Amino acid sequence: MALRASAKAQPAEEETRGRGRPSKDIVWEAAERYLTLGATDEEVAAGIGVGIATLRRPPHAQIFDELKGRCAGAYKLSVRQSMLSMIRGHKAPLYDDKGHVVKDGKGNVVFHTVMPPWPTRLAASIFLAKNALGMTDKTDVTTKGDKLQPGTAPGVLTIVVDDDAAESGNGD
């Protein structure tokens, strides 16, 4: 696939151009960079200097769709890697009080784990659990008369409230 294509077919040298907008080259490498960062179609079009309609019309629509398909996987993978890094922390060189890199007895750089604040790690963990593992926080509460009854869906959190215990202050 050629990564550089004209937005409009180029006329032969001896032909004169008719009316219309002059052609503009599409730099597909730039579009690929935007898509790998998770940019929307509109953001890609603006970034490479063409209208969104140009990207959605043949012959560019097919090239753009193929490029989006390839880049979507790379984008998702980079997001997962970033989020896992937030959860696990990342390795960074250890520095002494004077700002020098600490080395062990063999001359190797000593690394330590840098952990983001726990709310960031918690949010990243929840996001990955929901999106990568398909977990949900959906609750299933049904009522039968005045009493709450457990739902029947397996694997779904069920909340049952005992009104008598709640009123007496005894939650057991």
**pLDDT > 90 fraction of the chain, expressed in percent and rounded:** 31
Asked, for residue 172, whether it belongs to a domain, the answer is yes
Read off the pLDDT of residues 17-32 as tens digits, 9 standing for 90 and up: 567 777 778 899 999 9
How far apart are the C-alpha atoms of 150 and 159, rounded to whole Å? 7
Question: Bigger pLDDT: 49 or 143?
Answer: 49
pLDDT of residue 64: 94
Determine the average pLDDT of the residues in 32-50. 92
Asked, for residue 140, whether it belongs to a domain, the answer is yes
Asked, for residue 54, whether it belongs to a domain, the answer is no
Amino acid identity for residue 70 in this structure: R
- The answer to whether residue 83 scores a pLDDT higher than 60 is yes
Question: What's the domain count of the chain?
Answer: 1
Asked, for residue 146, whether it belongs to a domain, the answer is yes
Can you give the C-alpha Rg of the chain in angstroms? 28
Asked, for residue 166, whether it belongs to a domain, the answer is yes
Asked, for residue 1, whether it belongs to a domain, the answer is no
Under the banding of pLDDT at 50, 70 and 90, the label for residue 127 is confident
Phi-psi region of 155 (alpha: psi -120 to 50; beta: other; left: phi over 0): left
Asked, for residue 157, whether it belongs to a domain, the answer is yes
Domain span at residue 165 reads 136-172
Per DSSP, the residues of 79-137 read HHHHHHHHHH-EEEE-B-TTSPBPB-TTSPBPEEEE---HHHHHHHHHHHHHHTS----
- The answer to whether residue 106 scores a pLDDT higher than 50 is yes
Under the banding of pLDDT at 50, 70 and 90, the label for residue 42 is very high
Asked, for residue 162, whether it belongs to a domain, the answer is yes
